[in-house]
Amino acid sequence: MTDVKDQIDETVKASDVVLFMKGTKDMPQCGFSSRVAGVLNYMGVDYTDVNVLADEGVRQGIKDYSDWPTIPQLYIKGEFVGGCDIITEMVLSSELDTMFADNGVAFDKDAADKIREANA
């Protein structure tokens, strides 16, 4: 299990934004992963996607790593941010914009505003 934990730790720290998800950013394989990937894609965020369906060790390992029971899981600058419900709330409240800006992560503010307008 240490190898998987080390692999996850390296992945989380190697990119500014990492999404552990079911499927890929281009072909999500569950609704929750699709929602988070869709938001990040729409906002133009450059992120690394990790398909947990491709490796059972990573699928369980990420849950142990974060002590969070569900997937998807979003990490920004090595910090666990949350799953689908939390990310959705953060987008709608502009918290995610702030987190991206504070961490030097480029994103399309107009796209983020459009998401909020559509959900107002």
Q: Binding site for [2Fe-2S] cluster: which residues?
A: 30
- From the DSSP assignment, how many helices (H) and strands (E) are in the chain? 6, 4
When mean pLDDT is compared across 3-7, 18-22, 46-50, 105-109, the lowest value belongs to: 3-7
Q: Can you give the CATH number for the domain in which 91 is found? A: 3.40.30.10
Q: Binding site: which residues?
A: 30
Enclosing domain of residue 27: 2-118
* Cβ pair 25, 47 in contact under 8 A: yes
pLDDT category at 2 given cuts 50, 70, 90 is: confident
How far from 88 is each of 16, 51, 65, 97, CA to CA, in Å?
19, 20, 22, 12
Dihedral of the alpha carbons of 48, 54, 57, 61, in degrees to the nearest 10: 30
pLDDT of residue 100: 98
pLDDT of residue 120: 85
pLDDT category at 1 given cuts 50, 70, 90 is: low
DSSP state of 80: E
State pTM to two decimals: 0.95
pLDDT of residue 12: 97
What's the structural domain count of the chain?
A: 1
Upstream peptide bond of 72 is cis (omega within 30 degrees of 0):
yes
List, for residues 45-87, the tens digit of each pLDDT value: 999 999 999 999 999 999 999 999 999 999 999 999 999 999 9
* Cβ pair 76, 17 in contact under 8 A: yes
pLDDT of residue 11: 96
Mean pLDDT estimate for the chain: 96
Which two three-digit tokens encode residue 69? 């029971």
